[in-house]
Chain A
């Protein structure tokens, strides 16, 4: 009898822990939505901040965030996909591959503020690029690289072997096989990984805070500085004077990130059905 009771208690605890996790997620989302929804308007999204307390809108910070994210993804996508192609299709297990994997694991675990200081030391100062979209995007590239590499490699490995054999059987070379059959077959899952990485890049703060600058600016060229939404939210929250704008920015940020995550999920589910 006692083992039944112990079992019931344990099951109740496990249910509680899972429900707590879900409840926390909904609490965070609900809190941001409830407080931010009143702030959200076209005027808030599309106008510039005014005055010392950043009244008005957040348009330049949205542009800065999207600019740096797009730039980082443009740089990281080809490198990460080709690197994953190497690891999944070409590499022979050996010292070289284990060094690359070890480096990717290390890169994935570097604290984001360390990546930020690295970007400051190398791109902003040593390379004289200055506080700019490009410096921030390059620092983000190193943060995104291991993430995209891993999801792409998993996507390529999930492609059944016989598809490759069919291609080789027709006399295709290795690259033809990879480009014409393997990559198209893996593409939905590669895209899912890319969208999730984009979401990560949008939400990143510590990497961009000392590589992009903090002054509000509308970036045009990659060498322009700016202030991303995350840094804007951080500064508004810490000053604590203009909280409505902080709630509004948080909600916009949340909408963007949920949008990326849910579309990645939708894409994955649709390809599973086919």
Chain B
């Protein structure tokens, strides 16, 4: 064993010597390019830092001057009177996200299971591109569709104008399907085929195999997919903006107008000045922190999973 590693070291030394066989200028050029590439990769880090810095710089003072509790916990959003409580907006964001997930997750996971376990190659070659195309359709077109088709429909069944959480749920549920379905299909695809075959060999039906074997095996991947779908839902702006009605209040029913963090930023930004503007940037800070938190959650879960597998 020790001999092998000594041999290995020797090889590494030889490899290092090998590099010196090129001329000094080539060596410098290679090293320079390597650092240039590293610099390019660091632009991503720079981006996150700049967003944090500049959005934070513009929005930070709302927490210090207006107060964290009054800002986050205030039940009234009334910028004209200088009242900046964003609780109704947080509530709106959570209601819209929750409903969209409740509707969209079964649809997306169902589609993913269909694609990975049931569909024949021919059917799959139609459904999968459709899911991918759905991801490419701009949110403003979904909003447009929701505004002119779905809203009148909701309005006629509920008797109101049709602006509200219910309309946003349906539109947003469709929009998060590609995110959740693609990641769930990946998770199902990475299960070893032997597990699947063992289940079928025991006489299990397709459905028994899916819900007793495959879904538990792909559990972590599916949870990741739902978390990322959550991020998509909470950050979605234009489609929600066009159908929720934009009233920053606690609604009486799901068909009454509400507002979310993202929509209120777009609506208020053109005329906001002073503290009002700072408050909007403060809301952007909250959204940024939430999206970072969701990414961190996904990373944490995958780390826990690999630790669990190492223990096994």
Contact = CB atoms under 8 A, between A and B. Distances in A.
Interface of A: 3-4, 6-7, 10-11, 13-18, 20-22, 24-26, 28, 31-32, 78-80, 82-83, 85-87, 90-91, 96, 99-100, 102-107, 109-115, 117-118, 121-122, 126, 142, 145-146, 149, 173-175, 196, 199-200, 202-206, 209-210, 230, 233-234, 237-238, 243, 246, 250, 253-254, 257-258, 260-261, 265
B45 A111 contact: no
A200 B139 CA distance: 10
B290 to A, nearest CB: 9
A143 B42 CA distance: 15
Given A17-B107, A173-B30, A254 B141 contact: yes
A17 B114 contact: yes
A100 B235 CA distance: 23
Contacts of B10: none
Interface stretch (B79-87, B123-131, B250-258): B123-131
A238 B242 contact: yes
B134 to A, nearest CB: 5
Interface stretch (B63-71, B142-150, B191-199, B304-312): B142-150
Given A100-B41, A205-B237, A145 B262 contact: no
Contact of A4 (B36, B118, B205, B228): B205
7 contacts: A16-B110, A86-B34, A117-B55, A174-B30, A205-B237, A234-B242, A261-B133
B200 interface: no
B210 interface: yes
Chain B CB within 10 A, most for which of A32, A199, A234? A234
A186 to B, nearest CB: 15
A269 B104 CA distance: 30
A118 B45 CA distance: 15
Contact of B143 (A16, A102, A237): A237
Question: Range of interface residues on chain B?
Answer: 35 or more
Given A17-B110, A18-B119, A118 B44 contact: no
A87 B41 contact: yes
A105 B299 contact: yes
A11 B45 contact: no
Contacts of B262: 111, 113, 206
Nearest to A233: B140
B136 A113 contact: no
Contact of A28 (B142, B210, B234): B142
Nearest to B26: A173
Contact of B149 (A22, A31, A149, A175): A31
B73 interface: no
B238 A106 contact: no
Contacts of A28: 137, 141-142, 145
Given A7-B205, A106-B48, A117-B280, A17 B111 contact: yes
Given A82-B36, A114-B287, A122-B54, 6 more contacts: A7-B206, A78-B40, A91-B41, A105-B298, A106-B292, A234-B242
A86 B40 contact: yes
Contacts of B40: 78-80, 82-83, 86
Contacts of A31: 145, 149
Given A28-B141, A28-B142, A149 B44 contact: yes
A21 B177 contact: yes
Contacts of A96: 38
A203 B145 contact: no
A193 B228 CA distance: 21
Given A86-B37, A113-B284, A142-B47, A118 B54 contact: yes
A113 B44 contact: no
A173 B22 contact: yes
Nearest to B211: A10
Contacts of B266: 113, 206, 209
B153 interface: no
Given A28-B145, A100-B44, A204 B54 contact: no
